[in-house]
Chains A and B, each alone.
Chain A
Amino acid sequence: MSDQRFMLRSYPRAIVHLDGDAFFTSVEQSIHPDWKGRPMVTGKERGIIACASYEAKALGIKRGVRLHEAKRMCRDLIVVPSDYETYSLYSKRMFDIMRRFTPMVEESSIDEGFADLTGMRRVFHASYADIARQMQEAIHRELDITVSIGLSLTKGLAKLASKYRKPRGFTAVPGHRIHEFLRTQDIAEVWGIGPNTTEMLRKHGLRTAYDFAVQTEAWAGRMIGKIGREIRHELRGESVYPVETEEKTDYATVSKCKTFTAPSTDPAFVYAKLVRNVESAFIKIRRYQLRARMLYVALRTKDFEQRGLEARLTRATSATQEVMPLVREMFDRLYREGAEYRSTMVVLGKLESDSTEQAELFEDRVRIDRMYEASRVIDRVNEQYGKHALALGPSLLLDRHRKTDRDDQPVRKENLLPGETPRKRLAIPRLNIRV
Chain B
Amino acid sequence: MKLKVNKDVILEGLQRVQSVVGARTTLPILYNVYLKAEDDKLWLTATDLDVSVRTHIAADISRAGGSTLPAKRVFSICNALPSTDIEINIDDKDVATIKAGSSRFKIIGISEDEFPPLPKFAGDKTYTLDQGVFRNMLSNVSYAASTDESRYVLNGVLLSFKEDKLTVVATDGRRMALYEQDVEFPAELQGDYVVPSKTVQELLKTLDSEGSLKVMVSENQIAFEFDSMLIISKLIEGTFPNFRQVIPSQCEERVNVEREQLLTAIKRVALVSDKTTSVTLGFSKNHLELVAVAPDVGEATETIAVKYTGKELQISFNPEFLVDSLRSLTNDEIALELTDNLSPAVLKTDAPFLYVLMPMRVR
A binds B: yes
**A→B interface (CB under 8 Å):** 312, 314, 352-363
Partner of B174, one of A312, A355, A358: A358
Interface pair B171/A361, CB less than 8 Å apart: yes
A361/B344 in contact, CB under 8 A: yes
Q: Which residues of A contact B278 (CB under 8 A)?
A: 356
A14 to B262, CA, bound (A): 57
Evaluate whether A360 and B174 lie within 8 angstroms (CB atoms) in the complex, with A312-B150, A355-B362, A355-B363 already known. yes
User: Is A357 a contact of B360 with CB atoms below 8 Å?
Assistant: yes
Count A-B pairs with CB separation below 8 Å: 50
**Interface membership of B24, Cβ < 8 A:** no
What separation, in Å, do the CA atoms of A314 and B148 have in the docked complex? 9
Q: Which residues 157-174 of B have a CB within 8 angstroms of A? A: 171, 173-174
Task: Write 22 A-B pairs (CB below 8 A) sorted by A numbering.
Answer: A312-B150, A314-B150, A314-B151, A352-B276, A353-B276, A354-B363, A355-B276, A355-B363, A356-B276, A356-B277, A356-B278, A356-B360, A356-B362, A357-B361, A358-B174, A358-B318, A358-B360, A359-B342, A361-B171, A361-B173, A361-B356, A362-B173
* Chain B proximity of A106: nearest CB distance (Å): 23
Who on chain A is nearest to B274 by CB? A353
On chain A, the residues within 8 Å of B359 by CB distance are: 359
B360 touching A359 by the CB < 8 A rule? Answer: yes
Closest B residue to A355 by beta carbon equals B363
Bound state CA distance, A359 and B172, in angstroms? 12
- B154's nearest neighbour on chain A, judged by CB, is A362
Contacts of B356 in A (CB 8 A): 361
CA of A124 to CA of B272, assembled, Å:
48
How far does the alpha carbon of A358 sit from the alpha carbon of B321 in the complex, in Å?
11
- The answer to whether the Cβ of B234 comes within 8 Å of any Cβ in the partner chain is no
Given A314-B151, A357-B361, A358-B358, 8 other A-B residues pairs in contact with their CB atoms under 8 A: A314-B148, A355-B276, A355-B362, A357-B360, A359-B342, A360-B173, A361-B173, A361-B175
Contacts A352-B276, A362-B173: A357 and B363 contacting too (C-beta < 8 A)?
yes
Q: How far is the CA of A361 from the CA of B151 in the complex (A)?
A: 13
Q: Which residues of A contact B276 (CB under 8 A)?
A: 352-353, 355-356
B116 at the interface (CB under 8 A from A): no
Bound: A361/B241 CA distance, A: 10
Complex Cα spacing A354 to B360, Å: 11
Determine the residue in chain B with the shortest Cβ distance to A311: B150
B45 located at the interface, meaning its Cβ lies under 8 Å from any Cβ of chain A in the complex: no
What per-residue 1/0 map shows which CB atoms of B90-109 lie under 8 Å from chain A? 00000000000000000000
Cα distance, A359 to B174, chains bound together (Å) = 7
